[in-house]
């Protein structure tokens, strides 16, 4: 006890391992849903998912791709990064709708 950590300067982002880190991260990403035009964002801790629905698969595909581009721009502007390895998508629908 009584030892000091080494001083680190951060230009961007949130310090990891700090007491305030989780709260600062939530504040930092709080405006992510504002960049979405077609999707609904659901965020919990450091996980985010977006949901798009539509009658035609093509319309949903266009909408989600537009919002993925918006997220890309938001990530660049906030200087955050996205772990592509942990990024997935899920298509839900009837066989008839998915195959058309």
- pLDDT (tens digit, 9 = 90+) per residue, 23-48? 888 888 899 999 999 999 999 888 89
54 burial via Cβ count (<10 Å: 0-12, 13-18, 19+): middle
pTM: 0.75
Residue 27 confidence (pLDDT): 85
Statement: residue 56 has pLDDT above 90: no
**Contact call for residues 28 and 14 (beta carbons, < 8 A):** yes
Statement: residue 99 has pLDDT above 70: no
């Amino acid at each position: 006890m009584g030892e000091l950590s080494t001083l680190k300067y951060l230009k961007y982002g949130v310090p990891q391992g700090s007491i305030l880190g989780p709260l600062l991260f939530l504040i930092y990403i709080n405006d992510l849903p504002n960049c979405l035009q077609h999707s609904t964002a659901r965020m919990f801790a450091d996980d985010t998912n977006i949901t798009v629905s539509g009658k035609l698969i093509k319309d949903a595909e266009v909408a989600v791709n537009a919002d993925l581009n918006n997220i890309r721009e938001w990530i660049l502007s906030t200087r955050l990064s996205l772990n592509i390895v942990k990024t997935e998508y899920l298509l839900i629908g009837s066989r008839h709708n998915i195959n058309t």
